[in-house]
Amino acid sequence: MDGLEILLDSTDIDIDATNEDGITALHLAAESGETDAVRLLLEHKADMHIAENGGSTAEQLVTSSGHTEVAELLRSSRPTQSMHSEKTR
């Protein structure tokens, strides 16, 4: 995990960059059950609402893959309704 943290801290990268299938680093980490990587990506403001080309978000992918710890982390990271309302004002 140190390599990912160093990369995120030391470079100006697009954390939400996608491949040709619309998959982000968060999608990959979530679907693989990499809890620490998911936590680190979320701490660096990865957008958990991006859907890949098939229409699934990272949370939807992890729900079908059975990684319950990652699924709970993503659920608990959802913005509350009041936070969403403030962002859209």
CB-neighbour burial class of residue 35 (10 A; exposed 0-12, middle 13-18, buried 19+): middle
Residue of 48, 45, 5 lying closest to 24 (CA atoms) = 48
User: What type of residue is 81?
Assistant: Q
For 9-68, how does the pLDDT look when each residue is reduced to its tens digit (9 = 90+)? 777 889 999 999 999 999 999 999 999 999 999 999 999 999 999 999 999 999 888 899
CB 15 within 8 A of CB 8: yes
State the pTM of this model. 0.81
Assign residue 48 the CATH number of its domain: 1.25.40.20
Domain-embedded: residue 2: no
- For the chain, the domain total comes to 1
Domain-embedded: residue 9: no
pLDDT-derived band at 83 (thresholds 50, 70, 90) equals very low
pLDDT of residue 78: 81
